Amino acid sequence: MTFSRLGSFAAVSTCFERVEITRESDTFALGGGMEIPKQLIECLDENKFSYEILRHPEAVTAQRIAQAEHVKGRHHAKVVMVKSGDQHLMMVLPADHQIDLEKVENAIGNAVSLDQEQEFKSLFPNCAIGAMPPFGNLYGLPTYVDNSLAEQDYIVFEAGTHTDAIKMGYRDYEKIVKPEVKDLAINPARAGTMKGA
């Protein structure tokens, strides 16, 4: 579905459904009870960048979501939360990559560990766990993007639910979020090929 800015309304081009974002609500309802965080939609609209909302069957893993959206894994931006001391950090990498904690430590200059869901879920009160959008700026979190994702012309990411995603240009995303771009991940398919496995 493609959305365009029309005051406080978003026009849905493929479902002929009109959705109003009310000031009292923290979420953006798109039929079926699925809710996209209002602050995400407002951020995109305020910055006047084009984006497309994609609906897909419920999926939880980044690779399954990419398949459901008919998007290559290298374009699907998944969020991995890590912790350095008491600080939560948002890592954003392609769905077909895995976080490499040693690379993350080298990138930020401090020891890190994978963040535990119980420790970070309260940071995203309006998102389903595992469906957090890669907008650390909206949640007061330092955001790092793997350099392989930064090479893509567009990205697709979960929009706070397990059934909604947003597609937008990577350069537009970068202008809004201002992430640090670092070498954070490995592509297991390539690593296996290089090792002859």
pLDDT given at position 2: 46
Instruction: Find out whether 83 and 119 touch, Cβ atoms under 8 Å.
Output: yes
pLDDT given at position 63: 54
pLDDT given at position 101: 97
- Domain 5-194 fold is YbaK protein (3.90.960)
pLDDT given at position 4: 41
pLDDT given at position 21: 39
pLDDT given at position 162: 86
How far are the Cα atoms of 3, 5, 55, 87, 152 from residue 41, in angstroms, in the given order?
A: 10, 10, 15, 26, 22
pTM of the model: 0.77
pLDDT given at position 7: 35
pLDDT given at position 9: 33
pLDDT given at position 73: 76
pLDDT given at position 29: 46
pLDDT given at position 83: 96
Q: What does the domain layout of the chain look like in residue ranges? A: 5-194
d(CA 91, CA 183): 11
Number of DSSP helices (H) and strands (E) in the chain, helices first: 7, 15
**Which tokens sit at 113?**
């560990």
3-class DSSP assignment, residue 75: coil
Which stretches in the chain have pLDDT values below 50? Answer: 1-25, 27-34, 193-197
Share of the chain above pLDDT 90, in %: 57
